[in-house]
Structure formats: C-alpha cells, structure tokens
Structure 1
Amino acid sequence: MRTDTSPRTPPPARPPLLRIVLLGLAALALAAGLFVLRGPLLMAAPACASGRWQGCFGTFNGVVLMTLVTLPLAVLVAWAVALRRRRAGVAGAWRLSLAEVGMVHGTLPFLWMTMMPGGGAGVVPPRVSLVPLRDLVVMGSLGIVGNLLVFAALGFFAPVRWAAVASPARILALGAGCSVLVETAQYVLRLDRVSSVDDVLVNATGAVLAGLASRRWWRTRATPPATHRVA
C-alpha cells in the first residue's frame, strides 16, 4: 500500500469575517457605553478642565473620564514598549506590551474607585459581611456590573502575558486573591465601606469571564518571553 507523501496544498485563507464582526460589536458596545455615560462624564469635565482635582479624581465620574482621556496615552506607551521589544528581538512583542499596559490601564481606575473613602471614613467602625449572596440585592444591577469590571482587565490580559495564569481556576484564584486584598484594605483603613464576601465572589467571576473571552490568545507554554536573535 503506497502512502501519498506529496505536500498538500493548504486551503485558501478565509477572510477574517469573525474578527471583523467582533471588532464591530466591540465598537458598538463602546459607543453605547459612552452614550449612556455622556451625562456623568460631561458633569465631571469642568472640574477636570479647571484643575479641581478633588472633583475630578475624587468622584467616580471623574475617574471614568480620566480613564478615557488617558486611553490614547496608554496606546502610545504600549506601542513604544512593543517597538523597543521588537528591536531587541523579543517574540510576541505586541502581545506582551498590550497585555501589560492593558492590565494597568484597565485595573488601576477601578482600584482607585474601590478605595475612595465614604462620608464616615475614619469615624464609622469597619463593617464586614461574610454571608454569601446576601449583599447582591443591595448592590443592584449597576453595582454588580461595576464589581464584575474591577478585575476584568486583569483576568483578560494576565493569561495573555503569563502562561502560569492561563487556566480558569488560576484566573479565579488571582481575581479572588486581589479582591480579598482590596476588601482587607478597606477594612483596615476604615474607609466607611462594607468588606463583603459578595464583592470577592463578583470580582472573581468578572475576572474569569474576561479571561475566557481572551482564551484564544493565552500563553500556552511557560517559556521566557524574550527570544533574542542570533548574530
């Protein structure tokens, strides 16, 4: 029996229709989000433009506005880091750079908002809620969405950057661990916030869901990210 060893012609490349559709949906989602937030963002704009930083960085609306305003700067930083890595011969320079900048730019604003003190900070005794699912009703839909987004960028980009995090269980552990640190800091610093186990559950769930969305780009080998060219 003869085995056909002749090279097979690869099938013609298909147009990236799915990628175009996903990018279009992402653009529509971003536009819809900006449309919904246009009122609060316009309210925060005068404070930021006039240099009244308490009204800018001390409110949720101001932090969201500054996150959007600094987005082009984040893209520029990612481009500069990727360009430097490419010149050094680093494999996957764009992926690594986008993942690192995306984690920072997408997580720090939410951490800043979670650490904003309430009106009774330093006066009201710290509160803890350890009964699972009891606080979900109090959160409301907006609170649940916000908690899902706290570590979404971390869950999305961390497995892209590090193979050691590239599994749903590890992303869940990463999100839960970071959330526990935040809730502990809120309690220790007496920020007039409730340290709730439901916050940890929702934060970790958001990280896992975002991680699953980036699964096709996860690093699959625990190899060093740098591969230098041989002279």
Structure 2
Amino acid sequence: MNHTSSRSLPPCRRVRAAVLLGPAVLGLASALFAVRRPLMMSAPACMAGRWHGCFDTFNGVVLMMLVTVPLSASVVCALALRRRAAGHASAWRTSLAEVGMVHGTVPFVWLTMMPGAGAGTVPGRVSLVPLRDLVTMGPLGIAGNLLVFAALGFFAPMRCAALASLPRVLALGAGCSALVETAQYVLRLDRVSSVDDVLVNAAGAVLAALASRRWWRTAGGAPPDRSRPYPVPAG
C-alpha cells in the first residue's frame, strides 16, 4: 500500500494555513494602524471609566472590544480546560465558538442600539423598500452592517450542528437583525428601522459562515475531516 499521499497531506495543510494566516494578520494589523487615532481619542474616557465619551461612542465601544480580547481569551482557556477535564471531545472549538459569538456580536448590537439625539421624542421611522437605503449607507455603513452578526454567523455553526447550513445561518442572521430593527422602532431610539439593514446583516452572517465552513459541527458532533486520505489499493 502506498502511504506517500497520506503522509504529505498534513505538511501541505500546515503550509496552506500559514500562507492564509500571514495575510490575515497583516490585514488586521494594517486596519488597526489605520484607525489607531480615532480609537485613541476615546482612550482617556474609557480608561477613566466614564460612560460619556466611551460607551456612548462608536470609537469607545470598538476600543473596549479590542482591549477585552485578552479577557475573552482567558475565558476560552478556562472553559476549554474544564471541558477537557470532563472528557469533552471538542473542548477548545466549543469554548472558542461560545466566547467568540458573544465577544464579536454584543459590541456591534450595542452600537446599533445607541439612541440618537431625538430618542424618546421623535416617532419611529421605517424603511421597507429593499435596496433604497444602500445608496445612503456608503462603504463604511455597508461594512459596519456586514460585521454586526458576522461573529454569530462564523461561530454558531461551529457550536451547534442544527445551524450547520447556509440557509439556517441566513435565517438566524435575518431573524436577529429583524429583532434589533423592531427594538429600535419600539424604543423610539431616533433610528430608521430599515429592511436593507436586515438584508446586509444577514449577508454578513452568511459570508462569515462560509469562512468557517470547514470547522462546522456535523450531526455526529465533530467537524468533517477533509484531510483523511482515501485508501489506496495495493498493487
């Protein structure tokens, strides 16, 4: 039996992972460098624990999201070690998915629920014509809406086998977004509850799910193993 192909697969996967990880880290570092000045504008208020200037601003919320990454990493380690001690088969993946969903979703939902200047006094506004608001969003607005439920779309199929399909991730993202838009209208936050927000939020969840597809939890409780070589007939 020829084992050459099976032995060469793991090194190939490591090389491919390294090639993909390098540009990702470089892109993240470049993005942080580009927005360092706006984020640092909120640093004094956040470090002093002041609500105004930190938790009621976009820059402050994003800054605190980045600052708390080590805390979330510590929670992942604690949960994973506890699960491993209990004999959990996918302790690290499950723990990372749970913490990642919370850490990557709550700050963006918080931002969407920030009240405007006329909150509580102006009536709720609704925009139900698809694609009409995309023009006024602009590139930054579209990018921000794509990120709102991106972490949920990325990690939810890794955590729950029932969500390991693109239509279900789409339904999850659209449903969560619809709840947020409904809350904006009911609470009169001086925001426009738009169907385009729902569409872009759901699209962001699906795109993120595609990025994590190889690690999705299957019905058997483990991600599909695409690295397992097919048997090579002897001879």
TM-score by length of 2: 0.90
Match of 1:93 in 2: 91
RMSD: 1.4
Alignment gaps of 5+ in structure 1: 1-6, 226-231
Runs of 4+ residues over 4 Å off in structure 1: 222-225
Number of residue pairs the alignment of both structures matches? 219
* 1:150 corresponds to 2:144: no
User: Does 2:61 match 1:63?
Assistant: yes
Structure-2 separation of matches of 1:25 and 1:134: 35
For each residue in 1:139-175, what CA deviation from the matched residue of structure 2 results, as whole angstroms up to 9, or x when unmatched? Answer: 0100000000000000000001111101110100000
| Partner AA of 1:74 in structure 2 | S
Instruction: Identify if the C-alpha distance between structure 1 residues 87 and 189 changes in structure 2 by more than 3 Å, giving closer, same or farther.
Output: same
What is the alpha-carbon distance in structure 2 between the residues aligned to residue 51 and residue 182 of structure 1? 27
Tell me the secondary structure at the aligned position of residue 126 of structure 2: strand
Whether the 8 Å CA contact 2:177–2:202 is kept in 1: the answer is yes
- How big is the shift at 1:50? 2.0
Q: Within 5 Å, which residues of 2 pair with 1:66-85? A: 66-85=64-83
The CA deviation string for residues 177-222 of structure 1, in whole angstroms up to 9 with x for no partner, is 0000000000000000000000000000000000000000001115
Which range moved further: 147-156 or 33-42? 33-42
Letter of the structure 1 residue corresponding to residue 21 of structure 2:
L
Q: 1:176 to 1:128 in 2, by over 3 A?
A: same
**1:49 offset after TM fit, Å?**
1.6
Conserved? CA contact 2:90–2:222, under 8 Å:
no
What residue identity is the alignment partner of 2:95? S
Overall identity of the aligned pairs, in %: 72
Preserved CA contact (<8 Å) 1:162 1:222: no
Contact 1:81–1:97 (Cα < 8 Å) also in 2 = yes
* Pairwise CA distance, 1:224: 9.6
Q: Note the C-alpha offset of 1:51.
A: 2.2
**TM-score normalised according to structure 1 size:** 0.92
Aligned twin of 1:35:
33
Q: CA deviation at 1:33?
A: 1.3
Do residues 204 (structure 1) and 202 (structure 2) align? yes
